[in-house]
């Protein structure tokens, strides 16, 4: 039986924002400070026929609201907003454009590109100062009234402490498109994401958290569609409360909830990569899809004195105005929705500096940070920032408030450059291995605040770091002009794929040393999905638009003998990290402090076994370094670890530091299959481009 639509809406309530069913009807509420009128548009079950336009009968505190009796979950709707079309003064109202509810919890359909999506007449001589009167409804996804009734049973969040966290960055589609044993319809979706074999794989690696690239519904850019490409990464938000429809095989958000529940049951946390710094509407020449048409002057930061144009601190055409209380409320409501309705364990904030900007620039005490850190729900979750944007003073590594972790690109570059053999890198590597204390040892922050990674989605994969001197992004269609040109990489003799066994052996040795440096440093390690089995993107360091086998993980490769060897090696690194507290010191404390008598917390050694002097630190050609850490495990006893690193091409004899202990060589990255061996000589061979992991346990009496 069809829905009976009244001639007018009942008044309803201004809270909460969005569309909510109470069992007898649906209340609609949407913010707009500058609209003169807003209409609720109701569509048929397929979203093709607009059944009614019902004016919102009331506006309270700039929130337009109305109540539709006898409606319920599954209803399809959108909005039209009336007001001035005056771009020079920041207003872009156009009632001919159907608008997505910023609080929509589910979308039906996708954006289909048409000139009708634009609020202005495309190619008109006045550009965006003109006005387009074509109806856009046929080209816009419809909002769906959703109701969360998922039964979580006895499921609980794992609650992994930060100091024990190990992150695996992954793409929903990328890790599941080539998964065997999954129905074809489910490939690339949340249904395949939590496949038992994938969860077993993560558990083998020791991963404690999976960080998923954007799940919010997003837009495929027009220029990419014209090239036959797609916005694979998804950093182009279209709706902050709705999951990307393409990731839901069933079309229902509960599919994602089930995946999260399975991860939690396996002890794995779920962190969402979220994009609140900009939206898919782009600059003044972008489409009118939601926020722009509802209240452009409130939702976006506009250039003072010339409000036709957008402040573009993000490089994506626009910047969300989080200084506006309603915009900040929308972001906070979105975060709480994902935290409570989906039970996610944390968030990684894309271009986090943008979110911390006020009118005067970046501020660690900005409204966004303050609101987040005082929130009783969100402040308990893991919060990670990408600490840069392209705006003024946009690089803010280490300057976020306590409670945040930050992606540490200095770690990435330092580790790559040291193991490439660059000169003068020993002091920089030392800082990396200590979790960059010069950046993070302030305001009582801990080493976990430094998220250490060798590779991430943005840039080369770890295997490509040792296989390519230069980027190879021709498939993106920009003449290889996109992506960073400096990758701190080296091909070790041949650019790209090769059958040369000597080159391959050298690449593998260097990469093992890099991965060991990443997993065995202080701070929070992060692994890019696929790096555990030497996945390659053929030198593409900006694969944002490559929704194909270039980006999808090849699980047959992972299951090969070589893939298993790599995975076993990465798993072994984490086993070492977990077994030895000294391999990941959890606090910034005085390095010269004795853990037990005569043994300092941190010490550095040159190849002669002597402590590093100022002269040694300043010797640019030094490429060998010993790094010893000590952690108290019982009264009077300490766990010791010693990393011996040789980034030169030559094998060297490293003299062991003079200590009353017996060292066990637990790992040699030049010979990862070798069994642990007790060292009985005063020196040890460290092969070129390799790292040794030595461990010991000492008691107070042994050094008294």
Please list the active-site residues: 350, 386
Output the six-digit token pair for 283.
């600059």
| C-alpha gyration radius of the chain | 27
- If DSSP codes are grouped into helix, strand and coil, which group holds residue 456? coil
CA distance 354 to 316: 12
Check if the beta carbon of residue 415 is closer than 8 Å to that of residue 435: no
- If DSSP codes are grouped into helix, strand and coil, which group holds residue 471? coil
Per-position DSSP letters for 154-181, written without gaps between them:
T-------GGG--EEEE-HHHHHTT-TT
Output the six-digit token pair for 238.
């279209």
Q: Which residues contact 51 (CB under 8 A, 6 or more apart)?
A: 3, 5, 42, 43, 44
- Cis upstream peptide for 16 (omega within 30°): yes
DSSP category for residue 235: -
Q: Please report which helix (H) or strand (E) contains residue 505, including its range.
A: helix 501-519
Q: Please report which helix (H) or strand (E) contains residue 53, including its range.
A: strand 50-55
Q: Which of 76, 86, 82 is nearest to 97 (CA)?
A: 82
Output the six-digit token pair for 518.
């990443």
Question: What is the number of residues in the chain?
Answer: 704
Check if the beta carbon of residue 346 is closer than 8 Å to that of residue 405: no
Check if the beta carbon of residue 362 is closer than 8 Å to that of residue 399: yes
The region, left, alpha or beta by phi > 0 then psi within -120 to 50, assigned to residue 507 is alpha
DSSP category for residue 10: B
- If DSSP codes are grouped into helix, strand and coil, which group holds residue 567? helix
CA distance 137 to 546: 29
Interior/surface letters 20-43, b for 16+ CB within 10 angstroms, e for the rest: bbeeebbbbbbbbebbeebbbbbb
547 alpha carbon, distance to own chain's centre? 18
Q: Which residues contact 568 (CB under 8 A, 6 or more apart)?
A: none
Output the six-digit token pair for 370.
């303050």
| Token pair 């030895």: residue | 580
- Cα torsion angle, 576, 451, 376, 106, sign: negative
CA distance 459 to 298: 35
CA distance 617 to 220: 50
């Amino acid at each position: 039986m069809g829905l009976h639509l009244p001639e007018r809406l009942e008044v309803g309530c201004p809270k909460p924002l969005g569309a909510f069913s109470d069992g007898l009807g649906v209340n609609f509420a949407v913010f707009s400070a500058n609209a003169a009128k807003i209409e609720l548009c109701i569509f048929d079950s397929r979203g093709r026929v607009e059944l009614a336009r019902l004016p919102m009968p009331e506006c309270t505190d700039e929130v337009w609201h109305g109540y539709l009796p006898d409606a319920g979950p599954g209803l399809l709707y959108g909005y039209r907003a009336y007001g001035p079309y005056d771009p020079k003064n920041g207003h872009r109202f156009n009632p001919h454009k159907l608008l997505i509810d910023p609080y929509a919890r589910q979308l039906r359909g996708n954006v289909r590109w048409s000139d009708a999506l634009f609020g202005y007449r495309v190619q008109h001589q006045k550009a965006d100062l003109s006005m387009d009167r074509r109806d856009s409804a046929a080209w816009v996804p419809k909002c769906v009234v959703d109701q969360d009734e998922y039964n979580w049973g006895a499921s609980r969040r794992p609650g992994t402490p930060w100091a024990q966290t190990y992150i695996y960055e992954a793409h929903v589609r990328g890790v599941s498109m080539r998964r065997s044993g999954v129905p074809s319809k489910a490939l690339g979706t949340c249904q395949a994401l939590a496949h038992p074999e994938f969860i077993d794989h993560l558990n083998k690696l020791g991963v404690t958290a999976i960080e998923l690239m954007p799940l919010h519904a997003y837009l495929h850019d027009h220029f990419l569609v014209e090239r036959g490409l797609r916005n694979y990464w998804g950093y182009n938000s279209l709706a902050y409360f709705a999951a990307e429809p393409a990731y839901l095989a069933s079309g229902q958000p509960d599919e994602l909830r089930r995946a999260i529940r399975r991860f939690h049951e396996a002890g794995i946390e779920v962190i969402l990569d979220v994009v609140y710094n900009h939206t898919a509407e782009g600059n003044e020449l972008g489409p009118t899809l939601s926020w722009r048409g509802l209240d452009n002057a409130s939702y976006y930061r506009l250039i003072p004195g010339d409000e036709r144009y957008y402040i573009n601190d993000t490089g994506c055409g626009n910047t969300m105005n989080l200084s506006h209380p309603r915009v900040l409320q929308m972001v906070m409501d979105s975060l709480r929705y994902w935290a409570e309705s989906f039970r996610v364990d944390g968030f990684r904030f894309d271009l986090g500096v943008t979110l911390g900007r006020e009118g005067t620039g970046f501020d660690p005490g900005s409204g966004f940070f303050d609101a987040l850190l005082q929130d009783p729900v969100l402040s308990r979750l893991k919060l990670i920032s990408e600490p840069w944007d392209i705006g003024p003073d946009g690089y803010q590594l280490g300057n976020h408030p306590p409670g945040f972790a930050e992606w540490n690109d200095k770690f990435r570059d330092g580790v790559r450059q040291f193991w490439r053999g660059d000169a003068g890198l020993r002091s920089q590597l030392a800082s990396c291995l200590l979790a960059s204390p010069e950046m993070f040892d302030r305001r009582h922050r801990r080493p976990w605040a430094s998220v250490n990674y060798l590779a991430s989605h943005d840039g080369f994969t770890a295997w490509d770091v040792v296989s390519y001197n230069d980027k190879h992004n021709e498939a993106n269609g920009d003449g290889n002009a996109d992506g960073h040109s400096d990758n701190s990489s080296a091909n070790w003799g041949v650019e790209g794929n090769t059958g040369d066994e000597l080159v391959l052996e050298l690449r593998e040795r260097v990469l093992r040393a890099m991965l060991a440096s990443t997993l065995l440093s202080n701070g929070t390690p992060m692994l890019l999905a696929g790096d555990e089995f030497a996945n390659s993107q053929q030198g593409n360091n900006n694969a944002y638009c490559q929704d194909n086998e270039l980006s999808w993980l090849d699980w047959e490769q992972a299951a090969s003998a070589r893939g298993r060897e790599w995975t076993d090696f990465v798993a072994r690194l984490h086993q070492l990290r977990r077994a030895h507290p000294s391999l990941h010191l959890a606090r910034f404390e005085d390095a010269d402090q004795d853990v037990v008598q005569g043994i300092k917390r941190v010490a550095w050694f040159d190849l002669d076994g002597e402590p590093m002097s100022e002269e040694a630190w300043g010797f640019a050609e030094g490429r060998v370094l010993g790094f010893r850490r000590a952690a108290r495990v019982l009264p009077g006893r300490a766990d010791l670890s010693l990393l011996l690193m040789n980034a030169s091409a030559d094998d060297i004899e490293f003299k062991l530091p003079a200590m009353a202990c017996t060292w066990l060589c637990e790992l040699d990255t030049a010979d990862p299959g070798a069994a642990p061996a007790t060292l009985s000589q005063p020196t040890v061979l460290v092969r070129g481009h390799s790292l040794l992991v030595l461990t010991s346990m000492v008691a107070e009496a042994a050094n008294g």
